[in-house]
């Protein structure tokens, strides 16, 4: 996969849909009845990078204050959705030690993982940071997880929604109709190649989470040092 071309095509398709009002609104973000939970292996960007992200988000908030913007605590990059969120899932139902043991087998003893967030892309329901990996280690980990979980009897739903291959991060979700859509899209376009910075991945987190990875719902299950 040519990652840059992939992000560009996503962006073109999304902007066309948003411009023609064919965007999707997430009506569950503010719902008190949303009981979708799951388990995710993820990592988070550095504070320096998150500071640059928030400056970008503050510009968007000025023209569309009522969309859903991720706070620093919730910004993440998914390595793998181990158990995709579904209604009624409870982390107490799984044997955590077996998941930790399996994941450890899939992690390299030594690694040099750096992620550069450069530019933004989008879908018809959200705004996404373009993440670029300095090597193939994360995808190697993903492939090992796929193999090990396939050969286990542990509950999992790897690649159920889509086969993840990138290091992107969702930072805005649409939760109501746009009031100043053109101004919003102009700001997005201004940041389409902006360099938000590079950070080194030093740990990965296994978490119990809601659909949006909100801090108040996330429960840390295990930390893996990289």
Q: Which residues pair with 170 in a beta bridge?
A: 128
* Domain CATH number, residue 53: 3.90.1140.10
Q: Give the domain extent around 106.
A: 3-29+36-225
Q: What pLDDT shows up at residue 109?
A: 86
Closest CA to 124 of 52, 174, 158: 174
Residue numbers of the chain with a pLDDT score lower than 50: none
With contact defined as beta carbons under 8 Å apart, do 139 and 77 qualify?
Answer: no
Q: What pLDDT shows up at residue 161?
A: 57
19-41 pLDDT per residue, tens: 999 999 999 999 989 999 999 99
Domain total for the chain? 1
Closest CA to 53 of 127, 134, 164, 135: 127
CA-angle at 67, arms to 66 and 71, nearest 5°? 105
Q: What pLDDT shows up at residue 158?
A: 84
User: Tokens at residue 64, please?
Assistant: 């569309």
Q: What pLDDT shows up at residue 165?
A: 82
Q: Which residues pair with 68 in a beta bridge?
A: 173
With contact defined as beta carbons under 8 Å apart, do 225 and 205 qualify?
Answer: no
**pTM exceeding 0.85:** yes
Q: What pLDDT shows up at residue 157?
A: 84
């Amino acid at each position: 996969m040519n990652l840059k071309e992939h992000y560009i095509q996503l962006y073109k398709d999304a902007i066309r849909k948003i411009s023609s009002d064919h965007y999707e609104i997430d009506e569950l973000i503010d719902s008190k009845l949303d009981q979708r939970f799951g388990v995710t292996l993820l990592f988070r960007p550095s504070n320096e990078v998150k500071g640059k992200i928030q400056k970008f988000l503050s510009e968007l908030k000025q023209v569309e204050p009522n969309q859903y913007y991720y706070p620093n605590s919730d910004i993440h990059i998914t390595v793998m959705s181990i158990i995709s969120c579904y209604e009624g899932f409870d982390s107490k139902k799984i044997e955590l030690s077996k998941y930790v043991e399996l994941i450890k087998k899939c992690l390299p003893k030594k690694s040099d993982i750096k992620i550069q967030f450069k530019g933004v892309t989008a879908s018809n329901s959200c705004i996404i940071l373009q993440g670029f990996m300095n090597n193939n280690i994360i995808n190697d980990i993903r492939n090992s997880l796929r193999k090990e979980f396939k050969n286990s009897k542990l509950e999992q739903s790897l690649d159920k929604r889509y086969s993840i291959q990138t290091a992107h991060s969702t930072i805005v979700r649409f939760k109501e109709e746009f009031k100043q859509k053109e101004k919003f899209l102009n700001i997005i376009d201004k940041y389409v190649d902006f360099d938000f910075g590079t950070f080194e991945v030093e740990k990965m987190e296994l978490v119990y989470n809601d659909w949006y990875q909100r801090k108040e719902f996330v429960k840390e299950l295990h930390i893996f040092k990289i």
